[in-house]
Amino acid sequence: MTHNIFDYFKKYENVPNGAIVKEDMLRLGVSFAPEVFEHVDGYLLKNYNLFASNYDRANTGEMVVKNIPAEIRISSSKNKILPTIVETRYSAISPYKITYDQKGFKLLFKEREIAEVEFCKRPKYHNKQFKDGIKYKDVVALVHWGYKIAISVVRVCSFNKNDICKYCDINTNLKFRTDSNKLNIDPLAKLEYVVPVVKEILENEQIEGSRTLVYGLTGGTMLKNGKSIEADIYSHYIKKLKAEVGGRYPVSVTCTAQNEDDLWKLKEAGLDVYQCNIEVWDKQIFHKVCPGKSKLVGHDKWVELLKKAVDIFGEGNVITNFVAGVEYSKAYGFSTMEEAIQSTTDGFEYLMYHGITPKMTSFCASAGSSLRNEPIIPLDYYVQIAMNWYNLWRKYLLPPVRNHGPMGPGRAIEINSTYNDIGS
């Protein structure tokens, strides 16, 4: 990498420095000095979640796989970096490295200290297990510095290897975690495990400096006879969970685009926040990057079903995610950064105009996906697209992205994009 992150602080003076470093870490990953692993006991470590989000897993030793801190909070008064939380994406060749000395953990950029580092404390529920040996931590994950319970209900995707989204590592991640850690991870999470773990977290968990306020159900596309059955699965889970934990904590579902009848089924089950991810705005790139979604639903129908969902769940309660950067991938994307930024910005504006809240996950060329060898997307792309999102959000006066925490520098807790870190 030939860039100098400190030059970007001057180039984008109106963007928080923490947001710039965060996006750079998300696109380049981060490595750890060996001594760090001697001091990670007591912190939240990477465990099974739907996506692996590691760049070079094949070159990662077993010790590193088991001992990588899941989330990183950086800050620096010297470099004007407000507390900023970042998802850990491991890469042994990243210019970012976390080290440890008597003063604590530090983040280096090309061997130059850039920020102090904190790791999220390990939740108490991680120490518990069921009588059959199933560990609570292997049932659900606690993310966004303890703010959200992430329940991977459908842990596989029904699309075959040709139709699965090209950036996705759901199926390979499940296989890797099962094989490497000798875990018995069911393709469909069992309610008899999920409910007591969620109750335990909501009733007894308290991460230092955070509160668990929301929970979300997610998973891969689940088909039966060529049709989505996700509404049936998720409505059953929602009813059971709501009956046990009540209505204090809003629940979200992330699933394939659902028809009107299934949207009502989810609504009547008690769903608060509906999310179905279009991933990329350009129709042709959508067809190439998400062939299964394109065949099952199609781009235009996906958008229309999002608009219908707003009528059912209300403005602010319908979300769609973009894998930011995949529309600029060498394999399937636009030839210029400007085209990629404009296309996605057009998508943001159309959706916001119709009361749909778009959000982003910064593209990760995960070792388990078919795009694992993609060239790295420029940092300028990520900074500019986050700025565009924020300016449009202000223009359309939408509420913050529900179930994804507070907005603003030093307050945002979204871990895999900076749209929430820009300002408010």
The reply to whether 106 and 128 lie within a common domain is no
The reply to whether 198 and 311 lie within a common domain is yes
The reply to whether 210 and 269 lie within a common domain is yes
In this predicted structure, what is the pLDDT of residue 287? 97
Q: Summarize pLDDT for 84-131 with one digit per residue, the tens.
A: 999 999 998 999 999 999 999 999 999 999 999 999 999 999 999 999
Domain count, the chain: 2
The reply to whether 133 and 265 lie within a common domain is yes
Residue range(s) defining the domain that contains residue 82: 5-119
**Which strand (E) or helix (H) includes residue 65?**
helix 62-67
Higher pLDDT, 67 or 3: 3
**Which strand (E) or helix (H) includes residue 160?**
none
The reply to whether 169 and 54 lie within a common domain is no
The answer on pLDDT for 382 being more than 50 is yes
The reply to whether 163 and 96 lie within a common domain is no
Q: What is the pLDDT averaged over residues 45-64?
A: 60
Q: Is residue 416 part of a domain?
A: no
Q: What is the pLDDT averaged over residues 44-71?
A: 67
The reply to whether 114 and 131 lie within a common domain is no
| Alpha carbons 409 and 18: distance in angstroms, whole number | 8
Higher pLDDT, 46 or 340: 340
In the listed set 119, 144, 166, which residue is the last one of a domain according to the structure? 119
The reply to whether 113 and 138 lie within a common domain is no
Handedness of CA 144, 148, 149, 153 (dihedral sign): negative
3-state SS class at 15: coil
Handedness of CA 373, 290, 387, 253 (dihedral sign): negative
Higher pLDDT, 308 or 172: 308
| Alpha carbons 2 and 395: distance in angstroms, whole number | 36
In this predicted structure, what is the pLDDT of residue 61? 44
Q: Is residue 55 part of a domain?
A: yes
In the listed set 119, 142, 169, which residue is the last one of a domain according to the structure? 119
User: Using 50, 70 and 90 to split pLDDT, how confident is the model at 58?
Assistant: very low
Mean pLDDT of the chain: 91
User: Using 50, 70 and 90 to split pLDDT, how confident is the model at 60?
Assistant: very low
Q: What is the pLDDT averaged over residues 414-421?
A: 96
The reply to whether 104 and 136 lie within a common domain is no
In this predicted structure, what is the pLDDT of residue 179? 57
The reply to whether 246 and 324 lie within a common domain is yes
Q: Is residue 196 part of a domain?
A: yes
Distance separating the N- and C-terminal Cα atoms of the chain: 32
The reply to whether 180 and 309 lie within a common domain is yes
Task: Go through the chain and tell me how many residues it has.
Answer: 424
Q: Is residue 243 part of a domain?
A: yes
Q: Summarize pLDDT for 323-368 with one digit per residue, the tens.
A: 999 999 999 999 999 999 999 999 999 999 999 999 999 998 887 7
CATH classification of the domain holding 337: 3.20.20.70
* Cβ–Cβ < 8 Å for 270, 242: yes
The answer on pLDDT for 181 being more than 80 is no
The reply to whether 275 and 325 lie within a common domain is yes
Q: Is residue 415 part of a domain?
A: no
Q: Is residue 404 part of a domain?
A: no
Nearest to 106 by CA among 116, 97, 118, 114: 116
HSE of 43 in the Cβ direction (CA atoms, 13 Å)?
A: 21
Q: How far is CA 289 from CA 94, 156, 236, 292, in A?
A: 26, 18, 31, 9
| Alpha carbons 374 and 315: distance in angstroms, whole number | 36
Q: Is residue 221 part of a domain?
A: yes
Q: How far is CA 397 from CA 148, 224, 272, 319, 324, in A?
A: 25, 40, 20, 15, 22
Higher pLDDT, 186 or 229: 229
Residues with Cβ < 8 Å from 23, sequence gap 6 or more?
Answer: 362, 379, 382, 383, 386, 417, 418
In this predicted structure, what is the pLDDT of residue 350? 98
Q: Is residue 410 part of a domain?
A: no
Q: Summarize pLDDT for 201-249 with one digit per residue, the tens.
A: 999 887 777 788 999 999 999 999 999 999 999 999 999 999 999 999 9
Torsion angle of the four alpha carbons 103, 104, 110, 111, in this order, in degrees rounded to the nearest 10: 40
In this predicted structure, what is the pLDDT of residue 62? 46
